[in-house]
């Protein structure tokens, strides 16, 4: 949520900021701005709308500056407009600041500052920070101390970067709950809310932890805790490449990421399948694997698409590892005083590794002594670092706001974890080998499904004007129904509901008429006959039906209006295949409606606020 980028060095910061903001736009895209020092005088330029609009405004000015910060916003307090956009300035415009997060006590702080004579221009919570810092500067403190002291009064979350004309050789940045990374270059330093913004310039990074501040100069940086203790930070080498985060000729990131799935899914399992032993090797879980296999209960907590992956994980763990498993929205888990302890293992699934609710749930679980495990995509992300152990899904950077390849990779990793723990328990070598073999065939099968792209696009043309959709599936494909409906909602703004197919009779059937398309996920498995009965029920009410079915099934065509035939696999892995047509269908419907697929309205890729 909101993107932050900063530069200090010997080059012109303006292109660094603009290009960085473009890379960060997936985090928020309703307004953007930069603040720079020109001959030590602050200049702040902001704009409502996309970074490209800000860029046109700035390019005309031919600006050059060795220090600056930039921000792309996802509004929390105050509508998206130029005034509410960041950077925010103090009264005499000597100080400017960008902020990602939410200041929860901003009303109280604001009242106090107003009593001191401060006036506020914007409706944001963030503006409070700049005046608060100013109030400490005015009392004779230097910038670093002023920021540190201001932050001791703040409740909430922040990733901030601040520049002050009185100390033009530094950027001060701080983090609590919103990610911040420092990039180290040759006589230059970068600040960013994630590495994608600075990857073009450096691969050497330092991740700030909660409660840490940093003073960044062109040739060095000093980190401290908010309590003023010096800290040594470890430098990490990042391996993500620029090509990985580029669109690579595709019209949208979402399409690129859907098409990439044979490789991303392969990368998730690469080197992790031990075929002969019928199990998986997951380095990140080695030290805790026995404790995990012996846990009395597993909980999987997540948000959004990752929560749907968790539901599939529940089916896998219970079926094969025979460990009672529950799935819980992270936002619910953290606030309901959950009964968990040292005999529980809790997985936190998060593509970004930064989702605020998932992170808070992880902290809650850790405090209660549960084994807390992360399943993340972004290497070095907060959830990955805060977990006691975990597994990276290695899907590569996912930029499209609607998650696609991360979902299928999460499912692969959940299947690998299932193998690992089930083989430690009662699963036979033969069964383990069979699952491992089937897993290895998944990338090829995805390639086959992707060949149906044109067929699915034609179906999208037929249904693009529908205003409601019902997605129905049973067993392992019930979470896929939820995920298919979510994909359509997110990017096409069409109302869609996912339901367990049998539950349809208890309500949604009332909605069915000739205008209501129903999408059945109906591969040939043990629930096939039951789902055919559900199809008949919809057909009897003149509903239009699209079925995602097995390629070996030639009877279903007679029952439904459209079929999308996918290869067979074992039940536990079917969601990895059956979701792909639904991703493509949502994608094509949204494109045909002329919508911004990669940056749907009101959404953000990484939700770092509650």
H or E stretch covering 450: helix 429-450
| Residue 605 appears among annotated catalytic residues | yes
Shorter beta-carbon distance to ligand G6P: residue 122 or 355:
355
Instruction: State the nearest-atom distance from the C-beta of 157 to ligand G6P, in Å.
Output: 15
CA dihedral angle for residue 34, residue 37, residue 41, residue 42, rounded to 10 degrees: 20
CA dihedral angle for residue 196, residue 199, residue 205, residue 207, rounded to 10 degrees: -10
User: Could you tell me if 224 and 148 are in contact, meaning their C-beta atoms sit under 8 angstroms apart?
Assistant: yes
Distance separating alpha carbons of residues 230 and 253, to the nearest angstrom: 41
Q: Of the listed 2, 13, 89, 376, which one is catalytic?
A: 2
Q: Is the dihedral of CA 380, 384, 387, 389 positive or negative?
A: negative
Of 304, 390, 443, 543, which lies in the binding site for ligand G6P, with binding defined by CB under 6 A? Answer: 304
Distance separating alpha carbons of residues 413 and 153, to the nearest angstrom: 42
Part of the chain binding ligand G6P (CB under 6 A), chosen from 27-35, 301-309, 458-466, 582-590? 301-309
Part of the chain binding ligand G6P (CB under 6 A), chosen from 57-65, 210-218, 351-359, 556-564? 351-359
Q: Is 603 in the site for ligand G6P (CB under 6 A)?
A: yes
Paired tokens of 301: 């907590």
Q: Is 268 in the site for ligand G6P (CB under 6 A)?
A: no
Q: Is 492 in the site for ligand G6P (CB under 6 A)?
A: no
User: Could you tell me if 211 and 217 are in contact, meaning their C-beta atoms sit under 8 angstroms apart?
Assistant: no
Q: Is 404 in the site for ligand G6P (CB under 6 A)?
A: no
Q: Of the listed 110, 176, 405, 605, which one is catalytic?
A: 605
User: Could you tell me if 363 and 392 are in contact, meaning their C-beta atoms sit under 8 angstroms apart?
Assistant: no
Q: Is 607 in the site for ligand G6P (CB under 6 A)?
A: yes
Q: Is 303 in the site for ligand G6P (CB under 6 A)?
A: yes
Shorter beta-carbon distance to ligand G6P: residue 202 or 351:
351
Rg of the chain on CA atoms, in Å: 25
Q: What angle do CA 428, 569, 408 make, to 5 degrees?
A: 100
Q: Is 359 in the site for ligand G6P (CB under 6 A)?
A: no
Task: Please report, for residues 6, 34, 79, 399, 602, the alpha-carbon distance to residue 75 in angstroms, rounded to integers and kept in the order given.
Answer: 20, 16, 6, 19, 9
Q: Is 346 in the site for ligand G6P (CB under 6 A)?
A: no
Instruction: State the nearest-atom distance from the C-beta of 524 to ligand G6P, in Å.
Output: 30
Start-to-end CA distance of the chain, whole Å, equals 11
Task: Please report, for residues 55, 473, 534, 586, the alpha-carbon distance to residue 543 in angstroms, rounded to integers and kept in the order given.
Answer: 48, 16, 12, 19
Q: Is 193 in the site for ligand G6P (CB under 6 A)?
A: no
Shorter beta-carbon distance to ligand G6P: residue 216 or 604:
604
Instruction: State the nearest-atom distance from the C-beta of 215 to ligand G6P, in Å.
Output: 30
Q: Is 586 in the site for ligand G6P (CB under 6 A)?
A: no
Taking each helix axis from N to C end, the angle separating 574-592 and 453-463, rounded to the nearest 10 degrees, works out to 50
Strands 371-376 and 389-392: parallel
Of 306, 534, 550, 569, which lies in the binding site for ligand G6P, with binding defined by CB under 6 A? Answer: 306
Shorter beta-carbon distance to ligand G6P: residue 326 or 483:
483
Q: Is 76 in the site for ligand G6P (CB under 6 A)?
A: no
H or E stretch covering 73: strand 67-73
Size of interface with ligand G6P, in residues (CB under 6 A): 16
Instruction: State the nearest-atom distance from the C-beta of 419 to ligand G6P, in Å.
Output: 23
| Residue 464 appears among annotated catalytic residues | no
Shorter beta-carbon distance to ligand G6P: residue 370 or 401:
401
Task: Name residues whose C-beta falls within 8 Å of residue 216's C-beta, 6 or more positions apart in sequence.
Answer: 6, 8, 170, 171, 172, 173, 182, 189, 191
Instruction: State the nearest-atom distance from the C-beta of 92 to ligand G6P, in Å.
Output: 39
Shorter beta-carbon distance to ligand G6P: residue 126 or 404:
404
Instruction: State the nearest-atom distance from the C-beta of 304 to ligand G6P, in Å.
Output: 3
Paired tokens of 93: 């415009």
Instruction: State the nearest-atom distance from the C-beta of 410 to ligand G6P, in Å.
Output: 8
Q: Is 401 in the site for ligand G6P (CB under 6 A)?
A: yes
Secondary structure E strands in 474-610:
495-500, 517-522, 544-550, 562-566
Q: Is 352 in the site for ligand G6P (CB under 6 A)?
A: yes
| DSSP3 helix / strand / coil % (the chain, rounded to 5) | 40, 25, 35
Shorter beta-carbon distance to ligand G6P: residue 254 or 449:
254
Of 31, 331, 351, 563, which lies in the binding site for ligand G6P, with binding defined by CB under 6 A? Answer: 351
Of 358, 387, 409, 563, which lies in the binding site for ligand G6P, with binding defined by CB under 6 A? Answer: 358
Instruction: State the nearest-atom distance from the C-beta of 359 to ligand G6P, in Å.
Output: 9
Of 301, 583, 606, 608, which lies in the binding site for ligand G6P, with binding defined by CB under 6 A? Answer: 606
Task: Please report, for residues 263, 414, 418, 447, 539, the alpha-carbon distance to residue 444 in angstroms, rounded to integers and kept in the order given.
Answer: 10, 19, 22, 5, 34
Q: Is 379 in the site for ligand G6P (CB under 6 A)?
A: no
Of 19, 193, 196, 350, which lies in the binding site for ligand G6P, with binding defined by CB under 6 A? Answer: 350
Distance separating alpha carbons of residues 101 and 17, to the nearest angstrom: 20
Instruction: State the nearest-atom distance from the C-beta of 87 to ligand G6P, in Å.
Output: 26
User: Could you tell me if 275 and 303 are in contact, meaning their C-beta atoms sit under 8 angstroms apart?
Assistant: no
Q: Is 252 in the site for ligand G6P (CB under 6 A)?
A: no
> How many C-beta atoms lie closer than 10 Å to residue 53's C-beta?
13
Of 268, 295, 301, 355, which lies in the binding site for ligand G6P, with binding defined by CB under 6 A? Answer: 355
Contacting positions for ligand G6P (CB under 6 A): 303-306, 350-352, 355, 358, 401-403, 603, 605-607
Catalytically active residues are 2, 605
């Amino acid at each position: 949520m909101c993107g932050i980028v900063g530069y200090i060095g010997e080059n012109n910061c303006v292109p660094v900021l603009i290009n960085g903001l473009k890379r960060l736009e997936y985090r928020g895209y309703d307004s953007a701005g930069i603040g720079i020092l020109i001959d030590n005088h602050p200049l702040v330029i902001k704009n409502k709308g996309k970074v490209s609009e800000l860029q046109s405004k700035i390019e005309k000015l031919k600006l050059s500056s060795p220090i600056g910060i930039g921000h792309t916003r996802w509004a929390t307090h105050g509508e998206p407009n130029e005034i509410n956009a960041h950077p925010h300035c103090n009264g005499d415009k000597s100080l400017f600041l960008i902020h990602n997060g939410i200041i929860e006590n901003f009303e109280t702080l604001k009242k106090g500052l107003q009593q001191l004579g401060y006036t506020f221009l914007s409706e944001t919570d963030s503006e409070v920070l700049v005046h608060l810092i100013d109030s400490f500067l005015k009392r004779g403190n230097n910038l670093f101390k002023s920021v540190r002291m201001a932050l001791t009064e703040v409740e909430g979350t922040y990733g901030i970067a601040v520049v002050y004309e009185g100390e033009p050789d530094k950027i001060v940045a701080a983090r609590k709950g919103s990610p911040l990374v420092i990039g180290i270059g040759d006589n230059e330093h970068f600040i960013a809310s994630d590495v994608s913004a600075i990857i073009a310039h450096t691969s050497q990074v330092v991740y700030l932890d909660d409660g840490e501040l940093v003073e960044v100069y062109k040739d060095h940086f000093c980190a401290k805790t908010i309590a003023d203790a010096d800290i040594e930070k470890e430098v990490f080498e990042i391996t993500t490449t620029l090509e990985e985060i580029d669109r690579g000729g595709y019209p949208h990131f979402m399409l690129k990421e859907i098409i990439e799935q044979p490789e991303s899914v392969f990368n998730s399992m690469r080197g992790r399948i031990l075929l002969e032993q019928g199990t998986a090797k997951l380095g990140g879980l080695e030290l805790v694997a026995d404790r995990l296999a012996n846990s009395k209960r597993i909980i999987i907590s997540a948000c959004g698409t990752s929560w749907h992956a968790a539901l599939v994980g529940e089916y896998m763990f219970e079926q094969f590892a025979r460990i009672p498993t529950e799935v819980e929205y992270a936002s619910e888990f953290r606030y309901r005083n959950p009964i968990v302890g040292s005999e529980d293992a809790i997985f936190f699934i998060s593509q970004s590794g930064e989702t605020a609710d998932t992170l808070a749930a992880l902290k809650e679980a850790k405090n209660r002594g549960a084994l807390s495990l992360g399943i993340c995509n972004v290497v070095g992300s907060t959830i990955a670092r805060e977990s006691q152990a975990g597994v990276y899904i290695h899907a590569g950077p996912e930029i499209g706001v609607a998650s696609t390849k991360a979902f299928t990779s999460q499912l692969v990793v959940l299947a690998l974890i299932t193998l690992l723990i089930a083989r430690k328990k009662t699963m036979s070598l033969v069964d383990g080998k069979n699952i491992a073999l089937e897993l290895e065939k998944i990338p090829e099968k995805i390639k086959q499904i992707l060949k149906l792209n044109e067929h699915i696009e034609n179906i999208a043309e037929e249904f693009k004007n529908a205003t409601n959709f019902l997605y129905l599936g049973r067993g392992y494909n019930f979470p896929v129904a939820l995920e298919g409906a979510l994909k359509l909602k997110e990017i096409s703004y069409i109302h869609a509901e996912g339901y367990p197919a049998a539950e349809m009779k208890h309500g949604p059937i009332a909605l069915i008429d000739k205008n209501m398309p129903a999408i059945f996920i109906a591969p040939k498995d043990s629930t096939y006959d039951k789902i055919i009965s559900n199809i008949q029920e919809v057909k009897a009410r003149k509903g239009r039906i699209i079925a995602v079915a097995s390629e070996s099934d030639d009877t279903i065509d007679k029952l439904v209006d459209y079929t999308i035939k996918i290869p067979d696999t074992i039940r536990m892995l079917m969601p990895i295949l059956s979701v792909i047509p639904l991703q493509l269908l949502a994608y094509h419907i949204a494109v045909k409606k002329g919508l911004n697929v990669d940056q749907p309205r009101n959404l953000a890729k990484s939700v770092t606020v509650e």
